[in-house]
């Protein structure tokens, strides 16, 4: 079938063939063999670059079977992301998280189109880290598991010491002995995020977390995603080396 797709990742398969991981509107995340892709030159070769927006013929195999991709052409991309290490770090982390969640979710167009909007935002926004925070909030909300306050807490008068409790899956007042793995959260950061927990903004909004709120919120939400996905988000290691502590 003919489809649009985003390139999430590629691996060598043979001297001439790549394994390509794609995000599609119809089938979610799929893996397919691209025969001859490693020997292609020119514009067509760019179709297999990270984040490339392509149109291709895709044969999908059930389960984890490798399908096939042919007749691939570039529809667009985000070249500025590849020339800016900071933006590349945030974009890579966001797409790895989105791809991981899409992989364990039923296929639906939401993931593909949110990925496109996210990449547009990261390429243009000055608050690039905040766009990853926004992406994760949108993904968790879409999955029906957004962060929330303990019902016993008053959002207008939060205590100074808060934690995210993974067992209860909510933000609670920090006890004297915190549960293993609980994430400490300043009340000021939680207050900034309360509205977005309930109604995640669109990418064209003025949503931005500045100062220490950005890195704290991102670290907190990444850990929630790692808990859901059952593993480490590898792109975050690159992000930590380049931009995680940076403003926005």
Helix, strand or coil for residue 22? strand
Question: What is the pLDDT confidence band of residue 246, given thresholds at 50, 70 and 90?
Answer: very low
Structure tokens at 174: 């920090």
Q: Do 2-77 and 80-242 have matching folds? A: no
pLDDT confidence of residue 243: 58
Taking residue 106's Cβ as centre, other Cβ atoms within 10 Å add up to 6
Domain 80-242 has CATH 3.40.50.1440: no
Task: State the pLDDT at residue 247.
Answer: 41
Quote the pLDDT of residue 244: 53
Between the alpha carbon of residue 247 and those of residues 65, 186, 244, the distances in Å are: 42, 17, 8
- The reported pLDDT for the residue numbered 240 is 73
Positive or negative torsion for Cα 127, 208, 118, 222? positive
Q: Are 52 and 7 in contact (CB under 8 A)?
A: yes
Q: pLDDT over 70 for what percent of the chain?
A: 96
pLDDT at 248 over 50: no
Map out the domains of the chain as residue ranges: 2-77, 80-242
Given a contact cutoff of 8 angstroms between Cβ atoms, the answer to whether 131 and 118 are in contact is yes
Average pLDDT across the chain, whole number: 90
At the topology level, CATH places domain 2-77 in OB fold (Dihydrolipoamide Acetyltransferase, E2P) (2.40.50)
Question: Could you give phi then psi for residue 191, rounded to 5 degrees?
Answer: -60, -40
pTM assigned to the model: 0.91
- Does residue 161 have a pLDDT over 60? yes
For residue 103, give both structure tokens: 């992989």
Q: Are 34 and 48 in contact (CB under 8 A)?
A: yes
pLDDT > 90 fraction of the chain, expressed in percent and rounded? 64
- Residue with the bigger pLDDT between 238 and 235: it is 235
What would the mean pLDDT of 37-55 be, rounded to a whole number? 83
- Per the CB < 8 A criterion, the answer to whether 128 and 84 are in contact is no
Is residue 221 within 8 Å of residue 133, measured between CB atoms?
A: yes
């Amino acid at each position: 079938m003919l489809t649009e797709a985003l390139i999430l990742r590629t691996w060598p398969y043979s001297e001439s063939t790549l394994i390509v991981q794609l995000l599609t509107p119809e089938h979610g995340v799929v893996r397919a063999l691209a025969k001859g892709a490693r020997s292609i030159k020119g514009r067509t070769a760019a179709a297999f670059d990270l984040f490339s927006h392509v149109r291709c013929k895709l044969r999908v195999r059930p389960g984890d079977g490798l399908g096939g991709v042919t007749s691939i052409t570039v529809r667009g991309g985000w070249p500025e992301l590849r020339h800016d290490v900071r933006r590349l770090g945030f974009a890579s982390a966001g797409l790895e998280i989105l791809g991981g969640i899409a992989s364990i979710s039923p296929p639906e167009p939401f993931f593909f189109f949110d990925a496109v909007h996210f990449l547009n935002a990261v390429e243009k926004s000055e608050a690039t880290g905040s766009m990853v925070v926004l992406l994760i909030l949108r993904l968790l909300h879409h999955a029906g598991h957004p962060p929330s306050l303990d019902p016993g807490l008053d959002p207008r008068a939060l205590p100074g010491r808060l934690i995210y409790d993974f067992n209860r899956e909510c933000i609670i007042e920090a006890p004297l002995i915190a549960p293993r793995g609980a994430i400490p959260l300043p009340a000021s950061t939680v207050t900034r995020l309360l509205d977005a927990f309930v109604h995640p903004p669109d990418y064209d909004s003025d949503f931005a977390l500045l100062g220490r709120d950005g890195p704290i919120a991102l670290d907190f939400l990444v850990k929630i995603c790692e808990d859901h996905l059952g593993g480490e988000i590898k792109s975050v290691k690159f992000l930590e080396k380049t931009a995680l502590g940076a403003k926005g």
